[in-house]
Amino acid sequence: MDNIAFSSIARYTEEVSVSKLDFYQQINNRARRAWPLMLLLLLLLVLRLPNFSEPYWYGDEGIYLTIGQALNKGYRLYSEIVDHKTPLIYVFAQTGSQLYFRLLLVFWMVVATAGFYRLAYLLFPGKRLTVFLTSLIFVIFTTIPWFEGNIPNGELFVMGFVLVATILLGKTAYFRDLLSENKEAIGFDRKEALWLLGAGTALGLGILTKVPALFDAGAILTAGYFTVTNRFSPRLTNKRFLAALKLTGLRLGLIIAGIFLPILLSVVYFWAVGSGQDYLQFGLLYNLHYAGNWELDFNNTILNGLFTLPGKFVVAASGVFAITFLRKYVKPRTQFIFAWFMLAMFASLLSNRPYPHYFLQVIPPLALMVGIPLTELTEKKKKLSGLLQAVIVPVVSLGLFISVLTLLKVGLYPVAAYYQNWLSLLSGRISAQEYRQLFNPVMTDNYEAAALIKSSGADTMFIWGTNPMLYALSGATPTSRFTVSFHIQDLNAYEETLRDFIADSPKYAVVMRNENDKFPEFFAYLYGNYQLFQEYDNFTLWRRLNPPK
């Protein structure tokens, strides 16, 4: 009996030991797999440390924070406070301050980086060095100031949604069906439905953050397109093609349904709160106007034609169809990455404006493009196949990207000076005021005026010109629903703006010295009812007469 008991105890002890060993082995294996990603996230955090020392200097961020503050006060988006983007970027800006807004961005980019790393591993299975290097490129170029990666712009938030969508799709057969060397389509599992809907919803939320995310959503859908076309046969009764068409059509249908779900809900919400027409005008349709009112002239008929909307469409569509017909020579992952790159380039050029942050949208597919030669050059390929994938496709893509930046004269922000100036601030070699002025020459004036306005308790203010950072700094909300003069001029909303200004009669008004557009009715009322209170280098501050005339 004792021997039996001893034997049972020994067996139990041995099983526990093996179990513990397996547990620790699993932890060790996961740590070994995770350390490259942890290293990348640490780099991301270190590179973003200077972001938290920046002043309120950047125009778009000033608009986001101004609208976020207004929403926190109960204003209705698009009806009572407006900009021309879809709503989520302003919801994110309801964090209340630049610090919290930027903390949100850091968290967002941690998630986005994890998503990119997972996608790279999915596209380049077993190629740990390739996955690490492509992810390193992604982290660097979405973080450093070169393309304004230090600013909470819509492109970075969109990126997070898109890469979360790829994580969810990685749990389905959607990408596996594309990348599988087996010509038979992978069957549909009902459990996939929720992941597919979830991925589509993430893409829809990206579109609700910034409209050009439509092209990222389109790029994700090309994975299903290539799954079908790669199995296409001239014989339309080909069972493999028909099976792939049926299964992929089902998956694409669920993703598209997910995309439309949050968009439709947003329309219902804004109609319910009485802002439906304004949401349609400013949140959705205004983007078409914005994309078409920037003129380019290269003194070259062909170039001018290529940068029109039809011209860009032809270039992007030609690229996608070309890579479709090269299916015998390039792998499906190359097709998908190149299609994503072409669509992202189209998106970044929608308005033809030379703003660096627009090109952040191209960074994910361009970083993945680097992984193609890193992988293909280590494998034995047919001569033409190897040349196409390892050389021609990446070189053409990079060449197109650089050519566009050069033609548009995109002014990339300096990187070395950004970090050197921050170190000078930390070491005390420059003061906080000097540091702020390095970002924007209006900073000293803004910080002085904001302190004065805030101490007076003024809740509203009007600025004639472009200085939304002063709204955000002072906590004062615009008397008009427009945050900058650009929208007033573009929409010819002078009468509405003056009416709102007179009705609100704010304690302070600001006139920017660099605003050249005429607004005689406003100045007539200003001179009669306000007195010049303070002159600054970049603007004048006016205070209301008590009582106004």
Query: Cα 107 to chain center, whole Å?
Result: 14
pLDDT one-digit tens code per residue, 214-240? 999 999 999 999 998 888 776 655 777
Pairwise CA distance, residues 500 & 506, whole Å: 10
Cross-strand bridge partners of residue 43: none
Per-position b or e across 73-94, b if 16+ CB within 10 A of its CB: eebbbbbbbbbbbbbbbbebbb
Instruction: Note whether residue 122 is domain-resident.
Output: yes
pLDDT at 14: 56
Instruction: Note whether residue 42 is domain-resident.
Output: no
Please enumerate in sequence order all residues whose Cβ is within 8 A of that of 437, keeping only pairs 6 or more positions apart, or say none.
443, 444
Same domain, 381 and 457: no
Instruction: Note whether residue 46 is domain-resident.
Output: no
Confirm if 402 and 359 have CB atoms less than 8 A apart: no
Same domain, 350 and 484: no
Instruction: Report how far apart, in Å, the C-alpha atoms of 238 and of each of 181, 185, 232 are.
Output: 18, 12, 8
pLDDT at 21: 57
Structure token digits, residue 60: 């778009």
φ, ψ dihedrals at 246, nearest 5°: -65, -50
Q: How many C-beta atoms lie closer than 10 Å to residue 104's C-beta? A: 15
Please enumerate in sequence order all residues whose Cβ is within 8 A of that of 184, keeping only pairs 6 or more positions apart, or say none.
240, 243
Instruction: Note whether residue 349 is domain-resident.
Output: yes
Pairwise CA distance, residues 203 & 162, whole Å: 6
Same domain, 316 and 357: yes
Q: How many C-beta atoms lie closer than 10 Å to residue 37's C-beta? A: 18
- Of 168, 37, 58, 166, nearest in space to 102 by CA: 58
Instruction: Note whether residue 516 is domain-resident.
Output: yes
pLDDT at 525: 96
* Residue numbers of the chain with a pLDDT score lower than 70: 1-32, 183-185, 234-237, 289, 291-292, 379-386, 547-549
Q: Which residue carries 């879809």 as its tokens?
A: 86
* Strand (E) or helix (H) holding 87: none
Same domain, 401 and 454: no
- Of 110, 139, 125, nearest in space to 363 by CA: 139
Confirm if 514 and 118 have CB atoms less than 8 A apart: no
Q: What letter represents residue 186's amino acid?
A: I
Cross-strand bridge partners of residue 539: 512
Pairwise CA distance, residues 297 & 503, whole Å: 43
Same domain, 296 and 445: no
Please enumerate in sequence order all residues whose Cβ is within 8 A of that of 434, keeping only pairs 6 or more positions apart, or say none.
none
Pairwise CA distance, residues 384 & 117, whole Å: 29
Residue 201 CB burial class (10 angstroms; 0-12, 13-18, ≥19): buried
Please enumerate in sequence order all residues whose Cβ is within 8 A of that of 147, keeping only pairs 6 or more positions apart, or say none.
141, 356, 357, 359, 360, 363, 412, 413
The helix/strand count (H/E) of the chain reads as 25, 5
pLDDT one-digit tens code per residue, 107-145? 999 999 999 999 999 999 989 999 999 999 999 999 999
> Is the previous residue joined to 520 through a cis bond, with omega within 30 degrees of 0?
no
Owning domain of residue 4 = 1-36
Q: Which residue carries 């009572």 as its tokens?
A: 80
Q: What letter represents residue 442's amino acid?
A: V
Same domain, 518 and 399: no
- Of 429, 368, 271, 358, nearest in space to 60 by CA: 358
**What is the count of structural domains for the chain?**
3
Same domain, 235 and 383: yes
Structure token digits, residue 358: 């627009």
Same domain, 91 and 166: yes
Same domain, 399 and 463: no
Q: How many C-beta atoms lie closer than 10 Å to residue 513's C-beta? A: 14
Confirm if 177 and 247 have CB atoms less than 8 A apart: yes
Same domain, 233 and 379: yes
Instruction: Note whether residue 228 is domain-resident.
Output: yes
pLDDT at 299: 86
Q: Which residue carries 């819509």 as its tokens?
A: 154
Please enumerate in sequence order all residues whose Cβ is within 8 A of that of 420, keeping only pairs 6 or more positions apart, or say none.
none
Helix/strand/coil for 328:
coil
Confirm if 179 and 126 have CB atoms less than 8 A apart: no
What DSSP designation does 281 have? Answer: I
Same domain, 395 and 440: no
Pairwise CA distance, residues 62 & 440, whole Å: 13
Structure token digits, residue 364: 């994910």
φ, ψ dihedrals at 82, nearest 5°: -145, 150
Q: Which residue carries 């996961």 as its tokens?
A: 30
Same domain, 116 and 28: no
Confirm if 531 and 511 have CB atoms less than 8 A apart: no
Structure token digits, residue 298: 């290269």
Instruction: Note whether residue 60 is domain-resident.
Output: no
Instruction: Note whether residue 250 is domain-resident.
Output: yes
Q: Which residue carries 């009322």 as its tokens?
A: 525
